[in-house]
Structure 1
Amino acid sequence: MNDLELIGVGKTYPDGTVAVSDFDLAVKPGEFVAFLGPSGCGKSTTLRMIAGFEKISHGDILIKGRNVSATPPEKRPTSMIFQNYALFPHMTVRQNIGFGLDVKGLSAAEKKAKTDRIMDMFGLSGFADRKADRLSGGQRQRIALARGLVVEPDILLLDEPLGALDANLRRVIQNELKLLQRELGITFVFVTHAQSEALGLSDRIVVMNRGRVEQVGTPYEVYTSPATEFVARFIGSNAIIEGANLKVQGDMAVVDTAFGRMRGRYAASVSSGASVLVAIPAEAMRIQPANAAPATGENRFQGTVSMKHAVGSIGHVKVALDGRQSVDVQTGTDDEALMRLAIGDAVVVDCPSDRVTLVGRG
Structure 2
Amino acid sequence: MELAVAQSFPQTQTHSPSPFPHPYYPSFPPPNSLPTAFRHRTVPLKLHRSLPLLKSHRSHTRSPQTTTNSASTQYEDDDGIPIEHVKTLVKFKSRHNYIRVLQVSRAADHPLAGSRLLLLDAPGNIHSISYLFKSLTNAYFDVFATLPPILPPGPLGVLGFGAGSSARIILELYPQTVIHGWELDPSVISVAREYFGLEKLEKKYPDRLFIHTGNALNSSVKDGFAGILIDLFSKGCVIPELQDAATWEKLKKSLRDGGRMMVNVGGSCVEPEDIRKDGSVIMEETLKAMHKVFPGEVFVLSLENRKDDSSVALTGELPEANEWKKALKRPLKFYVDMWEPYK
TM class by smaller structure: under 0.3
Q: What is the TM-score when the length of structure 2 is the normalising length?
A: 0.25
Greater radius of gyration (CA): 1
Q: What is the TM-score when the length of structure 1 is the normalising length?
A: 0.24
- Of Structure 1 and Structure 2, the greater strand share is in 1
